Amino acid sequence: MSTVITERHTTPDPESDGHRTVGDYTLAEPRITCRHVNVFYGDKQALFDINLDIGQREVIALIGPSGCGKSTFLRCLNRMNDIIEGCRVEGDIRLDDQDIYAKEMDPVLLRARVGMVFQKPNPFPKSIYDNVAYGPRIHGLAGNRTELDEIVETSLKRAGLWKEVKDRLDHPATGLSGGQQQRLCIARTIAVNPEVVLMDEPCSALDPIATATIEQLIDELRSRYTIVIVTHSMQQAARVSQRTAYFHMGRLIEVGKTTEIFTNPRHPLTEDYITGRFG
């Protein structure tokens, strides 16, 4: 009896861990492949040997208790961890079979291909128009003002915000409601025409109605972009994603079709989380 308890309370050594992700993490035609990804903040390891493929035009949800490393993993995919002092990423992450941590890879260009939407809406303190135009401007995507206008309009339309703001494009973005701000941030992200969009709990600061709008938007965006979404709401994961990955204490525990994970979790930890025993 006592030996069992001691075993449960020892922190597992990552090297001799022997942990295996439950479910098939590979895909036939992946857009992103991650192999043996370890992430450290200083001496502290936050992710342990993550293996995961992310497909074309799918929405994959990352779920798990807070502090389990979902955001950390997300930020590996566009090298946002580079700007955190003391953060180190090991392993192999490929986007369309290009090593994104290779020397030749410019993180600036990578981030134009892998866009990111954050937990708290973070519009720049500029006009609505300038927010959306910011990305296209720095990447030189528009040759002239008409083209830029067009990009702004299509992006806002895709983000489902055009009707609400078309008469006040020159107003400050900070005057919008929280939900509108978050859709503006999505418009800003897709204005640079990325291949992948990373979303880190995009609805956690929003009310239910704004959340529903964004969830619908995510579903529509799936036809053009690969979307990786972190969420703490299991209903949301069930509603918007095709595949789900469950993280626990820096490890990827289980991955599979969303319907299967939610109806028939195979790992006890996943089951505990999904049935609401902790999280």
Partner 1 sequence: MQPQTLFWILLALAVYGYYLGRKRALTVSGGNIRRLHSLPDYYGYYVALWCALPALAILSLWLLLDDKIILQWVLAELPPTYRNLPPDRLSLTVNVIENLLAGERQASTVDPALAEAAEHYRQLKHLGYQALTVLVLAGATAALTWAQRRITPGLRARNRVEAVIRIALIASSVLAILTTIGIVLSVLFEALRFFEMVSPLEFFFGLHWSPQIAIRADQVGASGSFGFIPLLTGTLLITAIAMAVAAPLGLLSAIYLSEFAKRRTRAIVKPLLEVLAGVPTVVYGFFAALVVAPWLRDLGARLGLSISSESALAAGLVMGIMIIPFVSSLTDDALTAVPRSLREGAYGLGATQAETITGVLLPAALPGIVSGLLLAVSRAIGETMIVVMAAGMAAKLTLNPLESVTTITVQIVALLVGDQEFDSPKTLAAFALGLTLFVITLLLNLVALHVIRKYREQYE
One-letter amino acid of 107:
P
Residue-wise DSSP of 224-263: T-EEEEE-S-HHHHHHH-SEEEEEETTEEEEEEEHHHHHH
Positions in 143-162 near ligand ADP (CB under 6 A)? none
Q: How many residues bind ligand ADP (CB under 6 A)?
A: 11
Answer yes or no whether residue 231 interacts with Mg ion by CB under 5 A.
no
Query: How many helical (H) and strand (E) elements, i.e. helices and strands, does the chain have?
Result: 11, 10
Answer yes or no whether residue 11 interacts with ligand ADP by CB under 6 A.
no
Q: How far is the CB of 127 from ligand ADP (least distance, A)?
A: 32
Report the chain's C-alpha Rg in angstroms. 20
Q: Which of 48, 49, 61, 71 binds Mg ion (CB under 5 A)?
A: 71
Phi, psi of 78 (to 5 degrees): -125, 20
Answer yes or no whether residue 199 interacts with ligand ADP by CB under 6 A.
no
Positions in 81-110 near partner 1 (CB under 8 A)? 83, 85, 108-110
Q: 81 is written with which tokens? A: 């961890």
Positions in 24-63 near ligand ADP (CB under 6 A)? 41, 46
Q: Which of 189, 236, 241, 270 binds partner 1 (CB under 8 A)?
A: 189
Answer yes or no whether residue 241 interacts with Mg ion by CB under 5 A.
no
Query: Given strand 243-248, what is the order of strands in its sheet?
Result: 114-117, 196-200, 226-230, 59-63, 243-248, 251-257
What is the distance of C-alpha 112 from the center of its chain?
A: 15
Pick 196 or 237: Cβ nearer partner 1: 196
Alpha helices in the chain (DSSP H): 2-9, 70-77, 107-113, 128-138, 145-158, 162-165, 178-190, 208-221, 234-240, 258-263, 268-274
What is the distance of C-alpha 171 from the center of its chain?
A: 29
Answer yes or no whether residue 148 interacts with partner 1 by CB under 8 A.
no
Paired sense of beta strands 196-200 and 226-230, if any: parallel
Pick 102 or 109: Cβ nearer partner 1: 109
Q: 251 is written with which tokens? A: 């490890």
Residues 69-88: x where in contact with ligand ADP by CB under 6 A, - otherwise, as a string: xxxx-----------x----
Q: Could you tell which of ligand ADP, partner 1, Mg ion, none binds residue 134, using a CB distance below 5 to 8 A set by kind? A: partner 1
Residues 154-173: x where in contact with partner 1 by CB under 8 A, - otherwise, as a string: ------------------x-
Q: How far is the CB of 159 from partner 1 (least distance, A)?
A: 14
Q: Which of 33, 71, 78, 241 binds partner 1 (CB under 8 A)?
A: 78
Alpha helices in 1-127 (DSSP H): 2-9, 70-77, 107-113
Pick 78 or 270: Cβ nearer partner 1: 78
Q: Provide the binding-site residues for partner 1, judged by CB under 8 A.
A: 78, 80, 83, 85, 108-112, 115-116, 118, 120, 122-126, 134-135, 138-139, 172, 174, 185, 188-189, 192
Q: Provide the binding-site residues for ligand ADP, judged by CB under 6 A.
A: 41, 46, 64, 66-72, 84
